[in-house]
Structure 1
Amino acid sequence: MAQNNRIFDDLGRLMNEAAGVADGVRREVETVVKSQAKRIVADMDLVKREDFDALRELVQVQGEEIDQLRKELAALRTKRKAE
């Protein structure tokens, strides 16, 4: 009976160690994948979100200014034709 308990204890310890090794492997794979992803993103030379939002806002404002200038130009042309 003591022999059976020892076998089960050894088997439990072995399974516990295997689970620890598997967790270590999982963490190592996660680290490698994250570092590769960061390297790929860095190589892509992507723009930061803050820079993109600032540029989008600037383009929107300039678009509105261009529309206003077009209206003013059309009014001046109409006025010039009327003269």
Structure 2
Amino acid sequence: MQTQSRLFDDLARVAGGALGALSGVREEIELLVRGRLESLLADMDLVSRDEFETVKAMAAEARAENERLAARIAALEGKAPGADADSGADTGTGV
């Protein structure tokens, strides 16, 4: 019975060692794949998340400013003496 117990202990150690080795191989493969993907992405000239978020915020700010300026222009056009809806449609052709 002790020989069977020793055999099972040895098998468990071998299996544990094999799993440890496989875990190391898995980690090494993950590192290689991650490195390759990072290299491919760097070659594609993709922007980072930080750059994207910065430009997104700049675009939102520009859009808000554009809306404020459009409202201001509309208000100023409404206050101008003799302003009418067709005054901005003049093309300067004299026709």
| TM > 0.5 fold call | yes
Q: TM-score of the superposition, structure 1-length normalised?
A: 0.65
Mind listing any 5+ residue stretches in structure 2 that lack a counterpart? Answer: 85-95
Number of the residue aligned with 1:81: 83
* Alpha-carbon offset, residue 4 of structure 1: 4.5
- Equivalenced residue count is 82
Greater RCO, 1 or 2 (C-alpha within 8 Å, sep 6+): 2
The alpha-carbon distance between structure 1 residues 39 and 76, as it changes in their structure 2 partners (threshold 3 A), is same
The alpha-carbon distance between structure 1 residues 8 and 53, as it changes in their structure 2 partners (threshold 3 A), is closer
Identity within the alignment, %: 34
Number of the residue aligned with 1:61: 61
Number of the residue aligned with 2:28: 28
Structure with higher helix content:
1
The alpha-carbon distance between structure 1 residues 71 and 15, as it changes in their structure 2 partners (threshold 3 A), is closer
Q: Secondary structure at the match of 1:46?
A: coil
The alpha-carbon distance between structure 1 residues 14 and 76, as it changes in their structure 2 partners (threshold 3 A), is closer
Q: TM-score of the superposition, structure 2-length normalised?
A: 0.60
What are the Cα deviations for residues 1-49 of structure 1, in whole angstroms up to 9, with x where unaligned? 6654554454334323322321222122211221122122222322222
Superposed CA RMSD in Å reads 2.6
What is the CA–CA distance in structure 1 between the aligned matches of 2:8 and 2:48, rounded to whole Å?
56
